[in-house]
Each structure stands twice: as structure tokens, then as C-alpha cells.
Structure 1
Amino acid sequence: MSLKHLIFSSNTSIGKTLLSLSLSSHITKTKPLTYIKPLQCGTPWDEDLIKTYSDTTNLNLNSITIKAYDPYPCSPHLASILTGERTKEYITDDEINENILKSITSGHNIIETAGGVLSPSIAFPSAPLKGYMSYKDTNLVYTTQANLYSRLNLPSILVGDPKLGGVSTTISSLESLLSHGNRVEGIVFFGNDKRYVRIRE
């Protein structure tokens, strides 16, 4: 049996990549694993952390980043606008999902989302669509992470927020995922401990 899971979180920097690493070290014992990061904003890349971990532990793991926006460590909709204005290259939500489906293998697959459940997706030129918002006075639209990936119809794992007020944001995130049609199979919390904080240098 092959596992395919989306990894969401109720906030940024609370453990999506840590969960991906934990799952990697466990499930690669049975089948090869493909780690997919659809949207990467800023550095260090989450894929690089996965690669470093797999290289040092000899895991049977392949990692893929579909679209990266450097050097913009901000929301995907803003990062894509800053990059798009410079390069005139936009990728749509449908193209992101098509690339995810092409990258999924017959082994195990982990797809790690960006930011929180309701963090914006990428922005791209389009007519208004259901569930999409327009960006200021431009012709650009975007939606949320929860809405973007719901059409993949893959099971999800939610990383809860362990910080003060985290119960509320975690329940809100869970309800948001469910209201968008996502299947949530589990919720994971990492302790509010400095050992689990990712330090950016």
C-alpha cells in the first residue's frame, strides 16, 4: 500500500518540515519516498533540509520543488507577484496541481504546503473564479492553501499550533480544511520547546 499525504499547518514555522522528516525516516523503511514542495518562498529551501537529512541517513528518498520564489520569504501570492513583475512568468493553481500529480510516484509521497491552512496561494492573471480573491487593483487572483489542494482529493495531516492561543487556531484550521472538502486523517503537535524551533541564519 502506498501513502500519499498533504501536510498542512495552522501557522507557519510550527513543524511541517519536521513532520515530513519524521515520516520520511519511518516510511522509507518499506518503500521509496517522494517529498514534494509545491510552493517555496525564500531560503533555506525545505527541499534542501530534506535532501541533507536523507543524504546523512541514507534514506530512499527523492525530493522535488515545483515552484520557488527567491529571495522572497513571504506569502506565495506576494512572492509570485514580486517575481512575476520581474520575469513576467506566472504559473496557475491548475498547473501547480498538474505538476504535483505528475510527480507522485507508486511509492510513498509527502506533499508539504506553504504557510498556514488559509495562507494565500500564488497570484496569477485570470478572470474572477469561485473561491478566489483579487489582489488590490490588479487583474491577479489567488486562493488559499486549503482551497488550492482540495481538488487533489488526497488525505491530509494537520500540524497544530502548540503556542499560546494555538488550540483556537488549530480548530479553526481543521474546520477550514474540512469546509473546503479536505480529508484530515490526523493532527500532530510538536512541543513548544526550543529543541523543535527551526533557526534561520
Structure 2
Amino acid sequence: MANLLLFNKPFGVLSQFSDCDGHPGLGHYLQQPNIYAAGRLDHDSEGLLLLTDDGKLQAIISNPRHKLKKTYWAQVEGEITQPALAQLIRGVKLRDGITQPASAKLIEPPQLWTRNPPIRQRPNQPTSWIELQISEGKNRQVRRMTAATGFPTLRLIRVAIGSWTLGNLLPEQYRWETIHIPDTKHHRFRPKRAKW
């Protein structure tokens, strides 16, 4: 059994416990000993960050081989077009290669907490919200993908990793889950939540 902490990382916070370059680390929000982030989320992105006290679970979640899908809500500049969505779905050419096929769709503006500071928005410039699901983890991938299609990301929130979701957690809030880790040598990883 492994302990997994689901944390709603606020904007501007690093995915490490120490501060760096004027950005606060996780140590300002989490005081639990011996837990480590399983993956990362850029300081200017918000939402779900997973942390665990189990090295095997950390490696499984972080390893692209297990292809845990990551779901994001992105507020982009402009009214996004169907051709742009189709390009996100097919794959976008970036400097480090073409992204793998993704899931992308237009969504209604979600009911969210207020971001501090608010996004920089140009007067008379509309915005759109999209849901994007990817299974790879290139550096700043979602932002680079939307920018490459002509719709830069203004706000980015990760709402799910695999079957783990942000749920009703507000920024700085977290919840614990206990996970049974199966033998992953011959099976694709599908975590089972322990019953309390």
C-alpha cells in the first residue's frame, strides 16, 4: 500500500519543496514528511499535483511508459476554431518533434476560483476554454501546442491525471488516498484505491 496526496497547486508555486527564483515551493503549503512530487506542474500552471511517500508509485506515475492521461482546461486567447482543434487532436509540430495525437474540445467557461494575479487580457479580445488530454510530457507542452495553432494559453489548470481528479479541491487544499500497487511487470498500471 502507498499513500498518495492530491494537491491543488496554486498559480506561482513550484513543484518542489524549496523556494527558487522568487517563487514559493511546496513547503509553504505541505508539512508532511517524506513525500515527493510524482511529476511536475509549471509554476504558472494551476491544479492537480500528485505526491507520494512511495518511490515505486512515484516512478510509475512519472514514467511516460504507463501513458497516464493528463487532462487540462486551458483558457486561450481568441475564439478557437475547429481547424485549430483538429490540429491539436492530430498532433502539433514543435521544435522537439510532433506531439502525439490528443483529445481536444471546446468547453463552456468552467466555474473556478479567482486566480491571483488575474490573467493578462487584451481589451476587446475574446477568449475560449478548451479541454485537452495528452499522454506525453514535453516541457510546457500544452502552452506550446496552443501557441503553435495561433491561440496562446492565458490560464492553464490540470484537472486530472489518469483516474485521479481535482474534484472540489480549492487552491492550497489536498486530500489523501491509499493506493494498492499491483505488479506492473506484465500489466499496464491501473491503480486501485483502497477502501477505508
Give the greater-gyration-radius structure (CA). Answer: 2
Q: TM-score scaled to structure 1, two decimals?
A: 0.28
Q: TM-score scaled to structure 2, two decimals?
A: 0.29
Larger strand fraction of residues: 2
